[in-house]
Amino acid sequence: MLNIMPRAERAMIATPHYLASSVGSAILQQGGNAFDAAIAISATLGVVYPHMTGLGGDAFFLMHDAATGAYSGFNGSGKSAAKATPDFYKEQGMEKIPQRGILSAITVPGMVDAWWQVWEKHGKLPWAELLEPAIAYAEKGFPISRNLLYWMRKDEPFIRASAQLRALYMRDGELLKEGDRLIQADMGRTLRLIQQEGRDVFYSGELMQTMINSMKQDGGLLEEEDFRSFAGEWVELLSTTYRGYEIYQMPPNSQGFTALMMMNMLEHVDVAAVPRASANFYHLMSEVIKKAFKDRDLYLTDPHFREIPLERLLSKSYAQELWHDIQAKPFQASEHLSPAIGQDTAYAAVVDEEGNSVSFIQSLYFDFGAAYVPEDTGIIMQNRGSFFSLDPNCANALEPGKRSFHTLMPAMVSKAGKPYMLFGTQGGEGQPQTQLSILTGVLDYGLSIQEAISLPRWVYGRTWGEDGDALKLEHRLDPEVYTRLRQWGHRVEPVKSWDGIMGQAQGIVIDEQGFKSGAADPRGDGLAIGW
């Protein structure tokens, strides 16, 4: 299943929803740059992909400024409430933070601040113009897509349990259907306030007060000062070299460094000589992944709270040590069990005519986040804070004012200093794994970005909450592949041929002539647009 891959010279957009792609295209064609388009796309995704992202969530932006040649990153992930402590939950008789509900909504949403700061530094169009398309879709509605309907059905119990969600997604006691018009009037009013008054209305003004009043009434931990004191951060990117390319990732609290560790290990093998559809390939990838995840699970947290030995983890010498460990048992699956991680995210990419490039990703953590909406706001709050540990010895231990271990990891590859590939995906624990598939597909196997995204994918671990460390593989391979992997000790679980469990990836590649190829994942509702 291959989508049409547009190839164009002037600009390219790839998002997980066709309406968001159209919005980005319109912003560019009315004189905006890639940064403007990214903000407009981000806001629109919060309306048309509300199960994956929204104003109540976080966002990370990885950017290249064509005028200066600089690569930069913005971390728009929220900090935990001052009142959020392990003692609070233990006093409630809880051994862990709930995955849903008001007590999982304990981190300040960072996405609105990210929009504002990226726009202030790089934006070209007036702020109000960037939010107008999202407002129109909230106020006038849009047709429910295939993917949204799938998650509505999956999460029907949460929708029925929330008066706000029930009013949005149900009519006469039944869920809306694919193609039905979804109108989000409260969301429209909220976006109008942000359009008129900027980010401050969300973090210190009328909208903040409305959210806090509702959350306090419902027993929440977030308070006014948590919002007033919040600001995202401009950060220095992490990078590594791979076969003549430079790969960029966001630093912690993002898990982006794991992908760099994996590529450093793969430099020790001729990946192109390993058949892509072979058991050898999937064994190799899963073993590299386990090595990186072991260090990720040991160290990843908010770097303001605990030192993370990135210099060692990203060194070529350490990668060689890890590779030697893998080679010591070349056809034996090793063991590693990561904690269960949420998957629900929206990734998009934009390249404009000037050469500015934005690779960005946003999330509510779980599908429909905390499944909690502060009254009269239309904002679904994220449950990112539910991933904190109540164990004080854990790197990701809950502490006030702390950012959680974060799965979000937009990526970019450069060649001779210029952007070559923008890519990323939905999928929690699957994000670094799908990035590995795309990177090797393009850089080692010489595939187009659409071919790489459409390859049979895998995901190792417990992204979706199972107890075991299964290696899930799409059912598009020779049966001998699954048999051989089981013989080597892998707990193989075939899934559907184009399974949504593999996430939704998007990407853009820029060739030596300046032509841009764009791709959206056939597993989702996405679209690439170029001209």
Show the tokens assigned to 219: 């027993």
Nearest residue to 349 (alpha-carbon basis) of 29, 6, 38: 38
Q: Is 64 helix (H, G, I), strand (E, B) or coil?
A: strand
- Burial, 133: exposed, middle or buried (Cβ in 10 Å; 0-12, 13-18, 19+)? buried
Is residue 282 within 8 A of residue 458, CB to CB? The reply is yes
Active-site residue (options: 258, 345, 407, 425): 345
Count the Cβ atoms, other than its own, within 10 Å of residue 484.
18
Please report, as a single letter, which amino acid is at residue 195: Q
Show the tokens assigned to 322: 């890890």
Strand order across the 516-520 sheet: 7-8, 516-520, 505-510, 418-425, 411-415, 245-249, 238-242
Show the tokens assigned to 416: 């001779």
How wide is the angle at C-alpha 219 spanned by C-alphas 214 and 221, nearest 5°?
90
Show the tokens assigned to 242: 């791979």
Upper half-sphere CA count for residue 345 (Cβ side, 13 Å): 32
- Helices 316-328 and 279-299 sit at what angle, rounded to 10 degrees? 130
Count the Cβ atoms, other than its own, within 10 Å of residue 467.
8
- Burial, 394: exposed, middle or buried (Cβ in 10 Å; 0-12, 13-18, 19+)? middle
Which residue matches tokens 């239309």? 378
Nearest residue to 344 (alpha-carbon basis) of 360, 326, 368, 321: 368
Strands 492-495 and 471-474: parallel
Active site residue 345: yes
Can you tell me the distance from the alpha carbon of 367 to that of 146, in angstroms, rounded to the nearest whole number?
Answer: 15
Q: Is 72 helix (H, G, I), strand (E, B) or coil?
A: strand
Is residue 342 a known part of a binding site? no
Count the Cβ atoms, other than its own, within 10 Å of residue 18.
17
Is residue 140 within 8 A of residue 183, CB to CB? The reply is yes
Please report, as a single letter, which amino acid is at residue 93: G
Complete DSSP assignment for 18-40: HHHHHHHHHHHHTT--HHHHHHH
Count the Cβ atoms, other than its own, within 10 Å of residue 442.
22
Can you tell me the distance from the alpha carbon of 187 to that of 44, in angstroms, rounded to the nearest whole number?
Answer: 11
Nearest residue to 38 (alpha-carbon basis) of 466, 460, 357: 357
Nearest residue to 217 (alpha-carbon basis) of 105, 102, 104: 102
Is residue 527 within 8 A of residue 21, CB to CB? The reply is yes
Please report, as a single letter, which amino acid is at residue 445: Y
Give the annotated binding-site residues for L-glutamate.
Answer: 428
Q: Please list the active-site residues.
A: 345
Give the annotated binding-site residues.
Answer: 428
